[in-house]
Amino acid sequence: MITQSIDTHPAAEEVQLQLLRQATPAKRFGIMCSLSQTMAAQSRRAIRRANPAYNQQELNLAFISIHYGEALAERVRIYLEERRNESD
């Protein structure tokens, strides 16, 4: 078997894969959600470290830009600005 991870022993990786194969769809979905949340939190932390002066909206827009593209981030920025103007 070709290992997928350079920092995990092949025997440990095989055990991990067996456990994943045996898990119910609900359990696998839960693992996927947890990994996604962890990735998003780590990404936001890295953006915050690189841009400590960003407010929450700027942080969110940077996250969107990095992960979903500048075009979507710009559309969200415009939407938020329009919504703020309507409430004034």
Helices (H), the chain: 10-22, 25-50, 56-68, 70-87
Counting as low any pLDDT under 50, the low residues of the chain are none
pTM for this predicted structure? 0.75
- What pLDDT score was predicted for residue 88? 76
- What pLDDT score was predicted for residue 7? 87
Let me know: does 59 contact 44? Beta carbons within 8 Å: yes
- What pLDDT score was predicted for residue 58? 98
- Whole-angstrom distance, CA of residue 48 vs CA of residue 58: 10
- What pLDDT score was predicted for residue 3? 74
- What pLDDT score was predicted for residue 1? 61
